[in-house]
C-alpha cells in the first residue's frame, strides 16, 4: 500500500495510512478495526480510497497529471471557503468510514436492479420473475450514509447528485 503524501504520487493507492486509521477508529471506540490483520486493513483502505475517489465529482483540478489519485487538487476550497492543500483530514476520515464498511463485508460498488431482484428464472422459455420493492423498502434504501457525505460536504459538486446510500451510490 502506498499512501498519498499530498505531493501527487504516481503510484499511490490510499489516502490513509494504517496508523491514521488505527488512531481514528480507536478514538471512536470501533473495536472491529483492531481485530483486522495488517493485510485486511490495507485492503480495506485501498477499497475505501477507490470508492471515495470514484463516486464524487470533485471541485478543482488534480494537482498534476501524473498523480494516481484525485487528490491533491488545486483551486479547491472547503464549504467555509478556506483553500485546501494536500489531503484534507475530512477526506481521510471519509475513507476510514468507507473502509470500515468494506471490512464489514459491504460491497461498496453495489448496483440495484431497477426491475427488482430475480426470484425466478426459466432459460428455455426466457421467463423471468422479479421481486419489486415496495415504497417503504425504497425509503429505507435511500437513507443517506451521512458520515461520509457530511465529512466531504463542499468538496464535491452536489449537482452531480451522487450520494452514498447505506454504503451504496444512488443517483437521484
pLDDT at 157: 81
Q: Mind listing the pLDDT tens digit of every residue in the chain (172 residues)?
A: 999 999 999 999 999 999 999 999 999 999 999 999 999 999 999 999 999 998 888 999 999 999 999 999 999 987 788 899 999 999 999 999 999 988 887 777 765 555 444 444 445 545 555 555 544 443 333 334 677 888 888 888 875 445 554 444 444 4
DSSP sequence for the chain: --B--SS--TT--BSS-HHHHHHHHHHTT-HHHHTS-HHHHHHHHHHHHHHHHHH--BSSEES-TT-SSS-SEES-B-TTS-B--SS-HHHHHHHHHHHHHHHTT--TT----TT-EEEEEETTTTEEEEEPPPHHHHHHHT-B-HHHHHHTTTTB-GGG-EEEETTEEEE-
pLDDT at 160: 40
pLDDT at 132: 53
pLDDT at 14: 98
pLDDT at 166: 44
pLDDT at 108: 74
Amino acid at each position: 500500500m502506498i499512501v498519498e503524501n499530498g505531493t501527487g504520487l504516481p503510484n499511490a493507492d490510499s489516502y490513509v495510512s494504517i496508523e491514521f486509521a488505527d488512531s481514528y477508529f480507536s478514538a471512536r471506540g470501533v473495536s472491529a478495526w483492531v481485530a483486522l490483520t495488517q493485510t485486511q486493513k490495507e485492503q480495506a483502505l485501498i477499497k475505501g480510497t477507490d470508492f471515495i475517489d470514484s463516486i464524487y465529482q470533485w471541485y478543482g483540478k488534480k494537482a498534476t497529471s501524473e498523480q494516481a489519485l484525485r487528490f491533491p487538487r488545486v483551486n479547491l476550497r472547503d464549504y467555509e471557503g478556506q483553500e485546501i492543500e494536500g489531503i484534507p483530514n475530512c477526506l481521510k476520515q471519509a475513507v476510514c468510514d468507507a473502509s470500515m464498511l468494506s471490512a464489514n463485508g459491504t460491497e461498496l460498488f453495489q448496483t440495484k436492479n431497477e426491475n427488482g431482484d430475480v426470484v425466478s428464472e426459466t432459460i428455455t422459455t426466457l421467463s423471468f420473475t422479479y421481486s419489486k420493492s415496495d415504497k417503504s423498502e425504497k425509503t429505507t434504501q435511500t437513507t443517506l450514509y451521512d458520515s461520509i457525505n457530511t465529512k466531504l460536504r463542499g468538496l464535491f459538486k452536489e449537482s452531480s447528485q451522487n450520494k452514498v446510500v447505506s454504503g451504496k451510490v444512488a443517483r437521484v
